[in-house]
Amino acid sequence: MTASSSKLVVATTIAAFLLLLLVMNSPVDAHEKFHKGVGVTYDARSLIINGKRELLFSGSIHYPRSTADMWPKLLEDAKRGGINVIQTYVFWNIHEPEEGKFNFEGRFDLVKFIKLIGEHGLYATIRLGPFIQAEWNHGGLPYWLREVPNIIFRSYNEPYMQHMERFVKMIVEKLRDAKLFASQGGPIILAQIENEYNTVQLAYRDLGNKYVQWAGNMAVGLNIGVPWIMCKQRDAPGPVINSCNGRQCGDTFSGPNAPNKPSLWTENWTAQFRVFGDPPSQRSAEDTAFSVARWFSKNGSLVNYYMYHGGTNLGRTAASFVTTRYYDEAPIDEFGLERGPKYGHLKDVHKALNLCKKALLWGSTSAPRLNPDVEARIYEQPGTDVCAAFLTNNHTRLAHTVKFKGQEYYLPPRSISILPDCKTVVLNTATVHLLQSHRKKHSCAYFGDEES
């Protein structure tokens, strides 16, 4: 090698090094986490997003139940509360109120909503149904579908399957054209087909069994580059992941229906929807926090709060007897205000669980019982100092003091203490350090413009 060529190699190496430093120190764009475009895979432990494991704290926010002007603030507050995934249904009857006539404007702009999620650095889950329940008029199915000859909803019925497949493909192509799937660099990491079909499957007998297999395989065949899920579906076909809905999935979920699928919780009910005449539905911050800590301590990797913001059933979108106010007792209330202490306490839970992330996603687990009411769940990597523990008092009335790894710990009734280093309690689910929020009401002499 000549002296001149040697100098050229050195200069090129230095230039490459300086370029690397420049890239490493450049501001990170909100989209950058999605630009790898690897997509989403999974194993028995967790989803793997663009090659990386994540603990996922998801919140349901439905785009038609708020105005488009509200979306940015709702997403900002969700992110500040420790949420990193937004889940939404897709509402067939608002997008195709008449056969062949479509509406994706204003608060029905699905693509705009998903793009905003990505711009806020959040992931997204879409639940296409197309039957969605959701306390929504006609379960999201358009009324014109009733006039289709010989149709039987949600069954292995050719007219229904034809229209269902057409709608699902139309939505998928709309999202694909906007490059919104994680496999394209977008925020969507999961998609759901059907919805709690197990509750009606037996009524259809063999046609129900055939339908659920058809629905799952049809969805997988769309090749969107992210996994499909079916909630409360024990026989989810092939690679489709079956997930849990309920209030205590850490104890009620029978588990994935294949050993290579992760444990996902698609609906952790933060309260209960209201029907006319019912009092407000209350679920305590302590009980919600207990359920979340319990889930992650038992191999869970994603929890979704249904709802995180319920919003309003505007127009005539509510199901029978359901009030316009939807899940007002969620962490973010109907008006977009934080509802304490639920919002703040869950934010603290997310912080505590993130401190356990390495142990939870890569550690091996054991579960010694400390006494008849108290169990420890331990995640650790042998040969390292990575260790996280969850001390659970399952008794609903009695507190316990237990010894764990040579130290004593006080556990209030029905609570979980989170120890990210297997030594230090950073949070107990029954200990809330935040105040209850209150709203004040003022009567108004008029509504609208004073001169009208």
Beta bridge partner(s), residue 41: 48
Please check whether residue 83 is in contact with residue 308, taking contact to mean a CB–CB distance below 8 angstroms.
yes
32 noted as active-site residue? no
CA dihedral 35, 228, 160, 94 (to 10 degrees): -50
Residue 60: φ, ψ to 5°: -80, 125
Q: Could you give the angle at the alpha carbon of 245 between the alpha carbons of 306 and 138, nearest 5°? A: 70
Q: How far apart are the first and last CA of the chain?
A: 89
Token couple for 59: 């919140």
Task: Give residues with Cβ within 8 angstroms of 299, minimum separation 6.
Answer: 45, 263, 365
Token couple for 62: 């439905």
Give me the catalytic one of 119, 165, 196, 338.
Answer: 196
Beta bridge partner(s), residue 390: 377, 418
Please check whether residue 179 is in contact with residue 186, taking contact to mean a CB–CB distance below 8 angstroms.
yes
Q: What is the DSSP string of 270-287?
A: SS---BTTPPPP---HHH
Give one word for 81, left, alpha or beta, with left for phi > 0 and alpha for psi -120 to 50: alpha
Per residue, what are the HEC states of 321-388?
A: CECCECCCCCCECCCCCECCCHHHHHHHHHHHHHHCHHHHHHCEEECCEEECCEEEEEEECCCCCCEE
CA dihedral 92, 324, 64, 170 (to 10 degrees): 0
CB atoms inside a 10 Å sphere around CB 50: 18
Q: What's the rounded Cα separation, in Å, for the pair 177 and 158?
A: 28
Instruction: Quote the distance between the C-alpha of residue 66 and its chain's center.
Output: 18
Task: Give residues with Cβ within 8 angstroms of 338, minimum separation 6.
Answer: 77, 81, 331, 332, 344, 437
Give me the catalytic one of 135, 267, 329, 375.
Answer: 267
Q: Which residue has the tokens 């705009």?
A: 112
194 noted as active-site residue? no
Decide: residue 395, CB within 10 A, 0-12 exposed, 13-18 middle, 19+ buried.
middle
Instruction: Please identify every residue annotated as catalytic.
Output: 196, 267
